[in-house]
Amino acid sequence: MRILFLTQVLPYPLDAGPKVRAYYVLRHLASRHSVTLVSFVRPTDTRAAVEHLRSFCHEVHTVTMTRSALRNGWFFAKSLATGQPFIIERDWTTGMARQVRQLVGADGRFDAIHADQLWMAPYALWAQQVANGASPSLTLDQHNAVFMIPQRMADNERHMLKRAALTLEARKLRDYEIETCRRFDRVIWVTREDYDALQDQTPTNSSVPNSGVIPICGDPEGVAPVIRTPGGRRVTFVGGLHYPPNAQGILWFAKQVFPQVLAQQPDTVLTVIGKQPPPELADLPIPPSNLEVTGYVDDPQPYLAETGAFVVPLLAGGGMRVKIVEGWTWGMPMVSTTVGAEGIRVRPGENLLVADTPEAFAEATVCLLRNQAMADQLAQHGRAWVLEHYNWRTTYRQWDAIYP
């Protein structure tokens, strides 16, 4: 089968959840089919990353994504005028539309078009419209019920105007998401919870397509667990902080949870790993010896080796938090909020700890720092769990029912 695979982020290196999802789906499909990848790229994406993808794809084409505060302001105003969601207005570009049209212009070149995330759905629909003499099937891979992300952020936002803007975006995304899913031949969901959340928003006696639930998976067979130093004092967060729910979550932890941890474990170091950390972190009254904000790092393993507790303090988001799959793969003892662990098959108290209030989260974190045996047991059980349930080499065979 000839598949056109559309992505909003270049799916390599594997430094963000959406990249992990797209990369391993792409790897699986390319092992069985002829896959042409078309992806947006940012200035930080490298030629080496593109060449790596070319090593197993039939073709790889890239289109530059330009972002700026001024452009975002224009697209926000346009969104208000058109009623379209801001993120959809922002990510529609003539360059990508032109590239897609050029590729589908040849008669019958593609049998199927795969849109990775809602952002790329407009391009898949456009491709089907302009396909010359062909009618490729359309598949949408729904990483999230996207409307839930701004809605949950609005629920935790104190600034009145920001809350109103987020609520409006959530409402527009909900309507757009329902309509768009119905225009695809198949819709795959990362979690059942996301499907149910969108289905609950549909009018009575109508439904959103559900062609199956296939979780985000990693490659635990190919990654050895980190050998942790006994008595590690780092409390570590890993995640792209350009993603608003990650920034919101780590600020909540740093402001409301970590001071309670420090009161009981004064030598603990909050270690925040991820690009574009919020400047507000540096202004918090945490002693410099107890806070390390690294920014993006190519290899987090030196920090992970000194980690006593790996934290996932999310208050908003949708889909699956890949950092939990990664944490299990690395062999990390973890504490997560309920939202952070949402959509993932977990066994609280067996393969991670779950806490939702600042007091409970601090207590769980301190427990891991003080109880080496418990931390080791959680890490071992988590590693076994990810090998069984979130291994792309086995779980992604489910995609063969979508692309036979």
In this predicted model, what pLDDT tens digit does every residue of 211-221 receive, in sequence order?
A: 999 999 999 99
Q: Report how far Cα 256 is from the mean position of its chain's Cα atoms.
A: 25
- CA atoms of 36 and 12, how far apart (whole Å): 15
Segments of the chain with pLDDT less than 70: 106-108
Ramachandran region of residue 274, left (φ > 0), alpha (ψ -120 to 50) or beta? Answer: left
pLDDT at 93: 95
- CA atoms of 18 and 239, how far apart (whole Å): 12
pLDDT at 321: 81
pLDDT at 107: 58
Q: Which domains does the chain have, with CATH numbers?
A: 2-214 (3.40.50.80), 221-389 (3.40.50.2000)
In what helix (H) or strand (E) does residue 292 lie, and over which residues does it extend? strand 291-295
pLDDT at 338: 94
pLDDT at 134: 75
CA angle 90–275–338, rounded 5-degree value = 85
pLDDT at 22: 98
In what helix (H) or strand (E) does residue 187 lie, and over which residues does it extend? strand 186-189
pLDDT at 261: 98
Q: Encode pLDDT of 17-26 as tens digits.
A: 899 999 999 9
pLDDT at 106: 65
